[in-house]
Amino acid sequence: DSHQTWGGRFSEGPDARVAAFTESVSFDARLAAHDIRGSIAHARMLARVGVLTDAEFDATAAGLEAIGERIRAGDFVWDPALEDVHMNIEARLTEDIGALGKKLHTGRSRNDQIATDIRLWLRDRLDALSAEVARLRAALVDLAEREADTIMPGFTHMQVAQPVTFGHHMLAWQAMLARDSERLAEVRARVNRLPLGAAALAGTTFPIDREMVAAELGFDSVIDNSLDAVSDRDFAIEFVSAAALVMTHLSRFSEELVLWMSPAFGFVDLPDRYCTGSSIMPQKKNPDVAELVRGKTARVNGHLVSLLTLMKGQPLAYNRDNQEDKEPIFDVADTVMASVALYADMMPHVTVYADTCREAARQGFATATDLADYLVRRGVAFRDAHEIVGQSVQHAIRVGCDLAELDLATLQGFSEHISADVYEVLTLEGSVAARDHIGGTAPAQVRAAAARARHTL
Ligand code: ARG
C-alpha cells in the first residue's frame, strides 16, 4: 500500500498499531487554518521566484482557500491514515485541483512547516491571552479604586500583621499580572520569527525568498540557522513558562478567595452564578472556580516539565519526539485562557464586606508597629520601643482588650513617652493613612497607584 505520501521506498504500509501510534491529525487538525495560511504564502513565494507560474499559484491558493472553508464549516473528513494535518490538506488539494497540488511541497518539509504552523497559532493565542490578562487587570484596578478606603488585615505567616486597604491588596495582584503581560509580550517577540525555508534541516536548492514569506505572514524576522529553525521548541517552552507564572499568580489569588469566602473569614462573596453547590449539604455554596483554577495550575506546571524533558535529549535537527509538543501547548493555551477569562468576568462582581474586613483587622493588635514607630518619634530607640509595645500587648491579651482600649495611665505605665495623642496612631484609619509614600497602603497612595496602573493598560 503506497497510498502514503512517503510510500515510494516502502513495500508495505504501516502496521495498524504503528499507524495509530504515530498519527497526529487527531490533535494537530487544530492547526489547519494556520497551515493553510502558511502554504498560501509559500506558494506565492514559489511563484515570485519562478518555481510556480502565476496561474499555478492562483489555482493552488484557490484550492487551499476552498479547503479552509470546508474545514471551517465542519465539512472535511480527516483521515488518520494520512498521519497529520499537513498531509490531509495536501492530499485533498491534489484531489481537488489535480496534479498541480503535488507541486506545493517544493522546497519545503513538514519539519519547517509544522514549526511555522505552531508559531502562527501561538502568536494568535498570545494576542488573545494578552487581551484577557489586560481585561482582568482593568477589573482589579476598578476594584482597587472602589475599595481604596476599605480596611482589612494584612497577613504574614497568615497571622494578622498590619492593617492594609483592600484596594492595596488588589493592586498587588494587578502588579503581578502586569509583569505577566510584559512576559507574554517578550515571548511573542521570540515566537514571531519564521522557520519556513529551513526545509527538512539544511535549507533547499530552490532560490527561495524567506524575507518575502516572513513579511506576508507578519513575522518580524527569519530564523537564521536551518538546523535550529526546525528543531528547537524553546519558544513554546517560554510560552508555557510564562503561562505557568500567570496560573501560579491566579492560584495564589484563588487560595485567598477561597479563604475569604469561608464563613470563618467572611470578607467577600461571589455571585451564585460563579459558584456551585453540594449534592448532600443543602446549605453549601462553594467557590469552585477559584479551586479549579488552583487545581488546573498543576497541569500547566506539569506541561512545562513535559516540554523541558521532551527537548533535553534531542540531537540536531528535527526528531519525531517534537510531535509530543502539540497537546501540552494546546492544553496550556486553553487552560490559561479559560482561567484568566473567568477571573476577568468574575472580579467586577465580587462583594466586599468592609465591616467584617475592618473587624478582622481590629483583632490581633494590627497597630502595634504604629505604637512602636510613635515611641521612636519621641526619641525611644526602635529595639526598646519594640520591647515596650510587646509588654503592652502581653498586658492587653491578659486583660482581654485591644491596645486602643487601654487607658492612658496604663499605657504610660509602659513608657513615660506616651501622651494622649497616642490614640491617633492606634486607630486602623490612622495606621493606613500614615503609610503615605509610593507603594504604601494609604488610601491616597492606592488611588494614585490605581491611576498609574490604569495608564499602563
Ligand atoms: N507531526 C509532526 C510534528 O508534529 C510533523 C512533522 C513531521 N515530520 C516528519 N518527518 N515526520 O512534529
- 319 with 375, same domain: the answer is no
Quote the cell numbers at residue 178: 502586569
Residue 110 near ligand 1, beta carbon < 6 Å? yes
Structural domain contains residue 89: yes
The residue among 402, 399, 373, 366 whose CA lies nearest residue 388 is 373
Q: Which atom of ligand 1 is nearest to the CA of 323?
A: 4
Distance (Å, rounded) from C-alpha 415 to C-alpha 411? 7
Ordered DSSP codes for 131-154: HHHHHHHHHHHHHHHHTTT-EEEE
Quote the cell numbers at residue 185: 509580550
Coil/strand/helix, residue 276: strand
Residue 323 near ligand 1, beta carbon < 6 Å? yes
Which CATH number goes with the domain that contains 289?
1.20.200.10
Structural domain contains residue 254: yes
Structural domain contains residue 173: yes
- Spot the catalytic one: 262, 278, 349, 419: 278
Which CATH number goes with the domain that contains 101?
1.10.275.10
Question: What phi, psi does 283 have (nearest 5°)?
Answer: -85, -10
The predicted-structure confidence for 397-442, as pLDDT tens digits, reads as follows: 999 999 999 999 999 999 999 999 999 999 999 999 999 999 999 9
229 C-alpha vs ligand 1 centroid, how far in Å? 14
**What's residue 3's pLDDT?**
62
Structural domain contains residue 4: no
**What's residue 7's pLDDT?**
84
- 176 with 64, same domain: the answer is no
The residue among 412, 217, 233 whose CA lies nearest residue 322 is 233
Q: Which amino acid residue places its CA nearest to atom 1 of ligand 1? A: 323
- 200 with 340, same domain: the answer is yes
Look-up of cell digits 493598560:
457
**What's residue 195's pLDDT?**
98
- 131 with 162, same domain: the answer is yes
Residue 157 is a catalytic residue: yes
ipTM surpasses 0.85: yes
Distance (Å, rounded) from C-alpha 426 to C-alpha 374? 10
- 157 with 253, same domain: the answer is yes
200 C-alpha vs ligand 1 centroid, how far in Å? 10
Coil/strand/helix, residue 351: strand
Residue 114 near ligand 1, beta carbon < 6 Å? yes
Q: How many domains does the chain have?
A: 3
- 169 with 115, same domain: the answer is yes
Residues of the chain with pLDDT under 50: 1-2
Residue 88 near ligand 1, beta carbon < 6 Å? no
CB atoms near residue 280 (< 10 Å): 6
- 226 with 253, same domain: the answer is yes
314 C-alpha vs ligand 1 centroid, how far in Å? 14
Rounded to a whole number of angstroms, the CA Rg of the chain reads: 31
**What's residue 8's pLDDT?**
87
Quote the cell numbers at residue 39: 502554504
Distance (Å, rounded) from C-alpha 339 to C-alpha 343? 6
CB atoms near residue 22 (< 10 Å): 13
Question: Where a domain ends, among 358, 382, 405?
Answer: 358
Residue 5 near ligand 1, beta carbon < 6 Å? no
The residue among 301, 309, 313, 337 whose CA lies nearest residue 325 is 309
Q: Which amino acid residue places its CA nearest to atom 3 of ligand 1? A: 323
Question: What phi, psi does 69 have (nearest 5°)?
Answer: -60, -45
Distance (Å, rounded) from C-alpha 37 to C-alpha 35? 5
Which CATH number goes with the domain that contains 381?
1.10.40.30
- 330 with 368, same domain: the answer is no
232 C-alpha vs ligand 1 centroid, how far in Å? 13
- 348 with 378, same domain: the answer is no
- 284 with 421, same domain: the answer is no
Residue 84 near ligand 1, beta carbon < 6 Å? yes
Residue 320 near ligand 1, beta carbon < 6 Å? yes
Question: Where a domain ends, among 296, 330, 358?
Answer: 358
Structural domain that includes position 329: 111-358
**What's residue 1's pLDDT?**
40
- 248 with 363, same domain: the answer is no
Instruction: Give the Cα-Cα-Cα angle 141, 143, 147 (nearest 5 degrees).
Output: 120
Structural domain contains residue 253: yes
The residue among 275, 297, 277 whose CA lies nearest residue 346 is 275
Structural domain contains residue 397: yes
Quote the cell numbers at residue 343: 477571573
Structural domain contains residue 2: no
- 36 with 161, same domain: the answer is no
Q: What is the pTM of this model?
A: 0.95
Beta strands in 60-204 (DSSP E): 151-156, 159-165, 193-194
Question: Where a domain ends, among 77, 106, 135?
Answer: 106
- Spot the catalytic one: 157, 279, 437, 455: 157
Structural domain contains residue 409: yes
CB atoms near residue 70 (< 10 Å): 15
Residue 112 near ligand 1, beta carbon < 6 Å? no
116 C-alpha vs ligand 1 centroid, how far in Å? 12
Coil/strand/helix, residue 277: coil
